[in-house]
């Protein structure tokens, strides 16, 4: 185990240990969240120790919570009593065995299984001048001291809690289908023949940072000249929980100086690489969940499986590649969609 993630409560009565903070959604299953809570019972005063895993949608900073409004909506929560121990515990995982060696006799293991229909960690990129936590879906493991697991009348002090943010990240499916293809034709004034444009990509799925070859075929049957080819990648984000909000932002655009004269053809492959590093200033861009100030990527495409509730996804993300031709007397648009995943 290369690194241990640890968070201790303010009163030092409990400490949370995790061996990792990224948990992979393999489509059919999700990595088990396994950790250990170290408990010093001396200061519990008859109270119990609990741990929960919560998936929540955040749509405002905690600093704005000044009139009793909550800017966080829990999508899914599971709670487990850690101390005193109740019932039988499953066998420890290798990760828990390693963590228990660091905790000693006061260590108590816990395990959570994340439902496969829950969203992956995703956030909306704030503007450079914005402060506080950004809008998005996150996962939190929190240990706390309380008399009951979830009593709304019981006030839990911050010094009696410790928490770590974790990420549920999307893993690309093993089978990758063929890529999409789109074609369009357009007639121009004073010309009885059209310009044909066909665009395609080889597969429907690409990893972050992978070059995406876009195959372009042009048949210019007119007497006009195609002056440029413009390729754009758009990210479409749909926010589902707090309001119906859907918008698109360009994450890549480039013009290629390819001249196709009248009554001629062109068949060529152009490479595009959409990267977050080129879009750092765009507020509202969907990005994969971020831990503190670590680098992240453009958000992965949301995979909706049969039977899944779209409303539980919080934020849905998709991508589209557009190919435009600049013709001497007007523009011609062709479009195709592509999935971009981690």
Tokens coding 308: 């899944």
**Is the pLDDT reported for residue 338 higher than 60?**
no
Write down the H helix ranges in 72-227.
Answer: 94-103
CA torsion through residues 270, 195, 221, 325, sign: negative
DSSP 259-281: -B-TTEEEEEEEEE---GGG-TT
pLDDT in tens, 13-59: 999 999 999 999 887 889 999 999 999 998 898 899 999 999 998 87
- Judged by DSSP in three states, 218 sits in strand
Neighbours of 178 (CB within 10 A): 10
Kindly give, in sequence order, each residue whose CB lies less than 8 Å from that of residue 110, ignoring residues fewer than 6 positions away. 34, 35, 36, 37, 51, 80, 82
* pLDDT value of position 133: 65
* pLDDT value of position 342: 33
CA 282 to CA 69: how far, in whole Å? 28
- Judged by DSSP in three states, 202 sits in coil
pLDDT in tens, 265-278: 999 999 999 999 99
- Judged by DSSP in three states, 324 sits in strand
Find the radius of gyration of the CA atoms of the chain.
26
**Is the pLDDT reported for residue 100 higher than 70?**
yes
Classify burial at 1, counting beta carbons within 10 Å of its beta carbon; exposed 0-12, middle 13-18, buried 19 or more: exposed
Q: For residues 145 and 44, is the Cβ–Cβ distance under 8 A?
A: yes
User: May I ask the CATH class of domain 181-341?
Assistant: mainly beta
* pLDDT value of position 62: 52
The DSSP bridge partners found for residue 49 are 83, 145
* pLDDT value of position 337: 45
Domain boundaries, given as residue ranges, for the chain: 5-170, 181-341
Q: What is the pTM of this model?
A: 0.82
Q: For residues 183 and 334, is the Cβ–Cβ distance under 8 A?
A: yes
Domain 5-170 and domain 181-341 have a common topology? yes
pLDDT in tens, 200-253: 999 888 888 899 999 999 999 988 888 889 999 999 998 886 666 889 999 999
pLDDT in tens, 169-200: 887 666 778 888 888 888 877 778 888 999 99
- Closest listed residue to residue 27, CA positions, set 173, 137, 139, 138: 173
CATH match for 5-170 among 2.60.120.10, 2.40.40.20, 3.30.470.20, 2.60.40.840? 2.60.40.840
* pLDDT value of position 232: 93
Question: Over the chain, what is the mean pLDDT?
Answer: 85
Average pLDDT over residues 103-128: 88
């Amino acid at each position: 185990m290369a690194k241990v993630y640890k968070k201790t409560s303010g009163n030092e009565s409990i400490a949370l240990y995790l061996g990792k903070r990224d948990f992979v959604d393999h489509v059919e299953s999700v990595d088990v969240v396994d950790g250990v809570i170290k408990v010093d019972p001396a200061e519990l005063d008859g109270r119990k120790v609990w741990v929960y895993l919560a998936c929540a949608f955040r749509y405002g900073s905690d600093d704005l919570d000044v009139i009793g409004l909550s800017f966080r909506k829990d999508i899914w929560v599971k709670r487990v009593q850690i101390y005193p121990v109740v019932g039988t515990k499953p066998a420890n995982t290798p990760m828990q065995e390693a963590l228990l060696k660091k905790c000693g006799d006061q260590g108590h293991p816990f395990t959570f299984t994340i439902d496969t229909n829950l969203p992956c960690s995703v956030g909306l990129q704030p503007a450079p001048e914005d402060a506080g936590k950004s809008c998005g879906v996150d996962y939190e493991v929190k240990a706390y001291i309380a008399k009951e697991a979830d009593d709304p009348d019981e006030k839990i002090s911050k010094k009696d809690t410790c928490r770590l943010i974790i990420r549920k990240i999307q893993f690309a499916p093993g089978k990758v289908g063929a890529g999409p293809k789109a074609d369009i034709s357009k007639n121009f004034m004073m010309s009885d023949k059209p310009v044909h444009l066909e665009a395609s990509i080889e597969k429907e799925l690409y990893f972050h940072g992978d070059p995406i070859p876009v195959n372009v075929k042009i048949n210019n049957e007119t007497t006009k000249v195609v002056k440029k080819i413009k390729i754009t990648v758009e990210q479409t984000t749909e926010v589902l929980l707090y309001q119906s909000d859907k918008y698109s932002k360009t994450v890549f655009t480039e013009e290629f100086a390819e001249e196709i004269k009248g009554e001629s053809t062109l068949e060529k492959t152009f490479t595009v690489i959409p990267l977050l590093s080129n879009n750092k200033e765009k507020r509202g861009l969907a990005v994969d969940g971020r831990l503190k100030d670590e680098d992240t990527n453009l958000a992965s495409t949301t995979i909706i499986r049969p039977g899944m509730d779209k409303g539980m996804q919080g934020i849905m993300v998709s991508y589209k590649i557009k190919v435009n031709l600049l013709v001497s007397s007007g523009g011609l648009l062709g479009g195709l969609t592509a999935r971009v995943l981690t």
